Amino acid sequence: MKNGDHRRKTIAVMFGGRSVEHEISIITGLQLIKAIDVVKYNPLPVYIAPSGKWYAGDALLNREFYRRMPTSLTEVDEVTLLPQPNVGGLTVLRPKRKSGYVTLPAAADNVLPVDVFFVSFHGTFGEDGCIQGVLEMAEVPYTGCGVLSAAVGMSKYHCKKLLESHGIPVLPGIVVNRESIEMNLGNNLAAVREQIMSSPGLEKFPLFVKPLNLGSSIGISKAKDQAGLDAALMQVFKYDYSAIVEPCLDNMMEINVSVLDDTEPIASVLEVPVSSGGDGLTYEDKYMRGGSKKNAPASQGMAGLTRVIDPQDMAPEMKDAAQDYAKRAFKALGCAGVARIDFMVDLSDGKLYFNEINTLPGSLAFYLWMNSHPPIFYTDMLSHIIERAEIRSHRRSSLSREIGFKALFK
């Protein structure tokens, strides 16, 4: 109880996961917990290890916990979310060890109550609709996109094609599957190269090669010739089954804008991120450079990136176009919560192109909302996202799902 008036709602903040973006998700989750309104909410950290096992407990709040794994995992409860309604929270599979022995909970006490699940995973199994499917099966309130919008937003190619059909400009691209070159490697690579280079808009180098279903700039390469293209494809296939190949703009600027779920989506101010090498942002740019502050910790995540926020010298027409396309993309995909939409500007002709959507952006793009007009502070944004999740859950629960047995016994 707080001030004797109401019970704080328990928010299970879920992070980690079975993805190469595992550590970025941990950063996002821990930042979120520090910023949440503890007067209204009781945050419960829920960590999914690379093994796929789920853990819950306050020890997860200490960053040293992750340095000491796997030994430290005995300090927290091993839990799971049963894919069935009305459980009321997380089921404890193994309680944390105390004084060297395990005390099994009583049957009535083996559920950790949860009111809302706050999803802060990145990458596969968390950002791509998989965890959303489990949450849907359990019929629990959860933040962010549903199964379909998460899955489509995760696939760069399918996302671009859907948005292109809604009048949002995109660059051309082609998908290459790993199985198409696994057999008879040398000959098949040559055939794949020919297929790529004969596709409209991809006839010349350099080309960008990216994993189809990953973020955080993992596995991305710039291919400057045929040998570079072969190497880039092999690099991608270490992390993903499919690659997307896109043209590389000779004179390009990146623009990012965040969109927040509301009755009608609202857009933040823009940012122009600054890369260290001029060939697009790398993983190190995003998470290791520490931004403009000399001693900024890497754990700031995307918030520590060098960037120009709300650039005053950008043409108002460009800002309006990016914000409009971002809101249209958010609606077309059926997104919820907060997302960051990334664009590219061809500086040779001023054309704007959708690049990708991050349905679970690092740091939840709070740095953009703090500088918006009016500003929305991180704590308030989190509360808004939780409240919207509860509204969506209430709407889903009001749907009729049973019509009885009719055809079976006809």
pLDDT digits (tens, 9 = 90+) for 77-95: 999 999 999 999 999 999 9
The pLDDT value given to residue 159:
97
The whole-angstrom separation of Cα 190 and Cα 70 is 45
Dump pLDDT digits (tens) for 121-177: 998 899 999 999 999 999 999 999 999 999 999 999 999 999 999 999 999 999 999
Position 291 scores a pLDDT of 42
Domain borders along the chain are 9-142, 153-169+251-376, 174-247
* Average pLDDT rounded to a whole number, residues 94-100: 73
- 278 falls in which pLDDT band (50, 70, 90)? low
Per cent of the chain over pLDDT 90 is 72
Report the topology of domain 9-142: Rossmann fold (3.40.50)
CA distance 363 to 340: 10
CA gyration radius for the chain? 23
221-223 sheet: strands from edge to edge:
174-177, 242-247, 207-211, 221-223
pLDDT tens per residue, range 222-233: 999 999 999 999
Question: Which residues does residue 11 pair with via DSSP β-bridges, in sequence order?
Answer: 43, 116
User: Does the pLDDT value for residue 327 go beyond 90?
Assistant: yes
Strands 54-56 and 77-80, sheet pairing: antiparallel
pLDDT one-digit tens code per residue, 294-325: 344 445 555 556 789 999 999 999 999 999 99
> Are the CB atoms for 131 and 118 separated by under 8 Å?
no
User: Is 100's pLDDT higher than 50?
Assistant: no
User: Does the fold of domain 153-169+251-376 match that of domain 9-142?
Assistant: no
Nearest to residue 358, comparing CAs of 181, 215, 149, 183?
215
Residue 1 pLDDT > 70, yes or no? no
| Contact of 2 with 32, CB cutoff 8 Å | no
Q: Give 301 or 2, the one with higher predicted confidence.
A: 301
Cβ proximity of 260 and 326 under 8 Å? no
Q: Give the strand pairing for 9-16 and 116-119.
A: parallel
Question: What is the per-residue pLDDT for 362?
Answer: 83
Smallest CA-to-CA distance from 305 within 288, 317, 280, 320 is with: 288
Q: What three-state secondary structure class fits 42?
A: strand
CB 339 within 8 A of CB 258: yes
For residue 246, give the nearest of 335, 341, 161, 129 by alpha carbon.
Answer: 161
Topology (CATH) of 174-247: Dna Ligase; domain 1 (3.30.1490)
* CATH top class, domain 153-169+251-376: alpha beta
Residue 104 has pLDDT above 70, yes or no: no
d(CA 228, CA 231): 5
